Amino acid sequence: MKTTITALCNQKGGVGKTTSCLNLGVGLAQEGKKVLLVDCDPQGSLTISTGCAQPDSLQDTLSTGLLAKMTDTPYDVSRAILRHSEGVDILPANIELSGVEVTMVNAMSREKILKQTLEPLKEKYDHILLDCMPSLSMLTVNALTAANSVVIPVQAQYLSAKGLEQLLGTIAKVRRQINPKLTIDGILLTMVDNRTNYAKEISGIIRETYGHRLRIFNTEIPRSVRAEEMSAEGKSIFAHDPKGKVAVAYRELTKEVCAIERKKQHQLEAAR
């Protein structure tokens, strides 16, 4: 089984990375895929939004696996995995990850520690989604090194769009120096308020500026109060508001992601 590892990445906070990671993960699980979500953020937002209210009380987390890898200590990273009622698995994180990141800076092959930690899990999953922290840190570089592809959630706002260049620069550098197979699946417009001309304008600018060199997903994730309530409940939008416009959008996004995957698979087979 070929595992697709996708990093959801943007150094700007509050653009819907965690929400998109959870909902895309559950969407893929509903399509019959085996899915692991990995929380790569010391704030533990993904861990909290999957229903673990106290991530700091967890004994085993992503940190445990990374530390074991850095110190060459035998450790079965699947011990840290939590199961979610909606059919996805979660490798959680908590504040310990901040300390681990500091240690990483002096480690051997420091960019590849996450990749090596996830290696034994790959045979169990079709998709591994990495929820990156909102900075271009050592952990984010590790996520880009471990990933085959990147999805970039961007809020339909001017400043959010402006920060894209820096992120694209980092992705290009990782591709050049460490991970030549890394591809960008696309830019995902989030929190789009279609009632305002401003959002339509920004959406248009992003499509115009980047559309010729990057895919911009056809699906736009609308702004919704119900979606914002979701993270407090530990459920995906499909369980929280299955008929709402956000659930419909994430279903469409899942279809787009599956179509991209099929296309890549055909190209690989044709190349053989």
Q: Greatest CA span in the chain, whole angstroms?
A: 56
Does the pLDDT at position 231 exceed 80? no
Grade residue 158 by pLDDT with cuts at 50, 70 and 90: low
Predicted pLDDT at 164: 86
For residues 88-107, average pLDDT: 93
- The C-alpha atoms of residue 97 and residue 56 are separated, in whole angstroms, by 10
Does the pLDDT at position 209 exceed 90? no
Does the pLDDT at position 70 exceed 90? yes
Predicted pLDDT at 1: 58
Which has the minimum average pLDDT: 86-95, 178-187, 258-267? 258-267
Please give the structure tokens belonging to residue 201: 């304008």
265 versus 144: which is more confidently predicted? 144
pTM here is 0.95
Grade residue 202 by pLDDT with cuts at 50, 70 and 90: confident
For residues 128-146, average pLDDT: 94
- Closest by CA to 38, choosing from 152, 143, 148, is 143
Assign 76 to helix, strand or coil: coil
Q: DSSP states of 36-67 as a string? A: EEEEE-TT-HHHHHTT-S-GGG-SS-HHHHHH
User: Count H helices, E strands: the chain?
Assistant: 12, 7
Does the pLDDT at position 122 exceed 80? yes
128 and 28 Cβ atoms separated by less than 8 Å: no
Does the pLDDT at position 207 exceed 90? no
Predicted pLDDT at 25: 97
Percentage of the chain with pLDDT > 90? 68
Predicted pLDDT at 112: 95
The total number of structural domains in the chain stands at 1
For residues 93-122, average pLDDT: 93
Does the pLDDT at position 230 exceed 70? no
Please give the structure tokens belonging to residue 97: 């990850």
Condensed to tens digits (0 to 9), the pLDDT of residues 12-50 reads 888 889 999 999 999 999 999 999 999 999 999 999 999
Cα dist. 81→91, 93, 175, 180 in Å? 5, 10, 29, 29
The parent domain of residue 222 ranges over 4-271
Residue type at 170 in one-letter notation: T
Q: Which residues is 35 bridged to in the sheet? A: 127
Condensed to tens digits (0 to 9), the pLDDT of residues 175-194 reads 999 999 999 999 999 988 87
* CATH code assigned at 263: 3.40.50.300
Torsion (CA) 177, 144, 146, 19 in degrees, nearest 10: 180
Does the pLDDT at position 225 exceed 80? no
**Phi, psi (degrees; rounded to nearest 5) at 200:** -65, -40
For residues 215-223, average pLDDT: 93
